[in-house]
Amino acid sequence: MSDHVYKVIEVVGSSRLGSDDAIRNAIETTAKTIRNIDWFEVIETRGHVVDGKVGHFQVTLKIGFRFEAN
């Protein structure tokens, strides 16, 4: 296995369904633009409340992607 160099970005995913779905939304949307995503880390979980009920789940992620070797 060779050594790798990673770039880390921070994104926020949201979903009406739950935090797991918010994570999937963030990863899948980011993967449309960024190649070589290898890992993610959940940094923060929060939500939006509407009329006393959860309106959206919001999850902040750090996403690591690998630089391509020359």
> Containing H/E element for 44?
strand 37-50
Q: Quick check: is 50 in a domain?
A: yes
Residue 41 belongs to a domain: yes
Specify the pTM: 0.87
Q: Per residue of the chain (70 residues), give pLDDT as tens.
A: 468 899 999 999 999 999 999 999 999 999 999 999 999 999 999 999 999 999 999 999 999 999 987 6
Instruction: Establish if 1 belongs to a structural domain.
Output: no
The Cα-based distances of 11 to 20, 21, 24, 38 in angstroms read 15, 14, 12, 15
Q: Any idea what the CATH number is for the domain that residue 25 is in?
A: 3.30.1660.10
Q: Which domain holds residue 62?
A: 6-66
What is the number of other CB atoms lying within 10 angstroms of the CB of residue 61? 21
Structure tokens at 11: 């994104």
d(CA 9, CA 38): 12
Q: In this structure, is residue 29 part of a structural domain?
A: yes
